[in-house]
Structure 1
Amino acid sequence: MISSLKFLPNPFRFLLIAEWVMLASCGSLAVVEAWQGHMIPVRHISILLLLGLMGLTLPSGNVIVKVIYTAIEIGLIFYGTVLGYLHILPTLYLIVVMRSCFVFESWGRWIVTGVVFIFFLGDQFKYIQRTLPQAPEAQIHFGMHVVAESLVFGLGIFFVLQLTNKILAERQMRQQLAQAHEQLQQYSHKIEELATVQERNRIARDIHDSLGHALTSLNIQMQTAVKLWEKEPVQARSFLTQAQELGKTAMQEVRKSISTLREDAPEEPPLEAKINTLVDDFRKGTGLPIFTNISRCSSVQLPVAKTIYRIVQEALTNIFKYAEATEVQIQLKSTPEGIYLTVEDNGRGFDPNQNPSGFGLRGMQERIAGVNGHFQLITSPGNGCRIKVEIPSVNQPQLV
């Protein structure tokens, strides 16, 4: 049961700020009225503070916990009605509807919206009983006012529900686009690797067919020359001449194969250009603000450059999937002593002791270990995440 009590921060900070603004406006009204009545609205302010604190984290997973969470919210508002503080109820009910969109699925959102509207109508009925005027004409105007207010509130919660659903749908679509983008990149890399393997196999066959034939013939000529050297040196010299020609042919085949390898090998763009392209694509696909500070990395070896690129790619993917961050910073610096990478976000963080190999951390550590580098993860719940990578120049693998 305890493991099912999962709470996550509000995924949209601007909506959380909007809630605080609405609660602050309700609190200011309470203070003004209390000031006029020469009293301190302790209970009113306490209700608003509790509702505001509940919005910092939202339940996730267990449906019962979600229902209890929503019931507590509505219960606090109902307690406000008992205190006779009715004119701020529409604002508080709108907050409950907004939060239900992040807590429940579609059916649950509509149920909460219906319950909220029924409670509002009940509060309106109490309001009519308390303040209904005696004059018939005044009663008609009063009734029209109450009906209009109820219709406006109904349209308001419907608009809020639809708007929040649209925001959630857009967020889900961005996540799907990011996942599709990641899969396309993985497929592209697999195709490149497959093409590289096929090209290597083709060149290996060419070397085997041409160079292997030349070396085999050269070996036969040399063996024959050795056997005939003492008895028939003239004929042996002829075989050595043929062996020399075969050696030249073998050298030509080697040069041709090397030339083919150089021509077929695609020219790799600089590391900083590849990372900038990756960041631009990711920024466009997710809308996540990413700030970069990348220096020139022309002296970085190809295996190290590929590793750094994969680390940045994996880190960005994990940030979008799990961190719920609103800002990412990437720093990449290349010096004669080594190359240094830092990827930092302001998301919700996590406890690395509870999930030491999750979020692709083991893969990152293995990649860095493969190029003799150092990997460091700094994170804690609620404090974002920072990945630091250091690959000293003396440890970098050299290309043969």
Structure 2
Amino acid sequence: MLKQLNSIRYMYIRSHLYGLILNIFILLAVLLSIHVWFEPSWLSPGAILFFILSYLIVGFFMSIYAGFKSSGDMKQRFDYISTMITQLSRGEFSSRIYFNENDEVASLGDELNELGEKLQQQKESLLKLADEKAELARSAHKAATIEERQRLARDLHDAVSQQLFALTMMAQATGKVFDKNPDKAKKQLEEITQMALQAQTEMRALLLHLRPVHLSGEPLTEGVSSLIEELKQKCPLHFDVQMEEMDEISRTTEEQLFRVVQEALSNILRHANATEVKVNLTHSKDEMFLHISDDGAGFDPDEKKSNKASYGLKSMKERCEEIGGVFTIRSREGEGTHIDIRVPIAVQSKEESK
């Protein structure tokens, strides 16, 4: 009810009623002045009261009628504008509105038409950009796949392939000296065992990269837990895992952090020669913290001794920066490696959760 009384039609009616009241006061003042100054016989107090009441009654109905009629055109034009805004909000940017009058309302309609044209142009530009982005994403995915295959091929050739070749040569040599020098053969068999274990570790680290990058709908904590449980069954490592449940991080953040954990564990398997690995995931109101450490051989971060290690660290740092995080690594030879990641919490959107 109050909303209707605040509509433009009632505003016109009220303005006419205000004008009526103002006119009544002016007429009353004039009639009373004439009565006091000139005292005409025909202008008695009763006649003044009768005239004012008659004027008030007739003027009241005339004000309502005039306000209703005069506001009809304006209300209709505002209804057109409201419909235009509703259509624009629904994405119907081709809608247009035109007025024959040349006033402020018509100027407002022209501005809405210009807004619709600009929104239509932006929509077309966004569609074009979306197509280009999709094409770039496909190209980037293809290039990344090729690069990852080439890297895995290099790693297999540089590590596992050479170790298998060395194992073959040592096995052949051991077979030749087994009868002549059993002690030397036994020592070579121990070396062969160590090299086989190292090749096995290298292979497991490489297979870790072949796991799915995406979490397949799983939360980050469950994905990391599954990964570590799998490694526990295959590797002689002790894992100390402490992770807090988090429901407000975006899927993109979860996937990137999962890939970082994969890369970090792969580096530990291949280069650290560690016996214990710690993974801690905590969060505050605005940030989440991921800590990964090992008690392995460690290294000097300022000296890039291995292209493979350098590639892994660079990849982890880039993934953290993509989600607005900060990547910090601390390591010394013989004292293990510590990785600390701080990432702002981005609330998961409805589109991402679908």
- How would you bin the TM-score normalised by the shorter chain? 0.3 to 0.5
- Highest CA radius of gyration, 1 or 2? 2
With normalisation by structure 1, the TM-score equals: 0.40
With normalisation by structure 2, the TM-score equals: 0.44
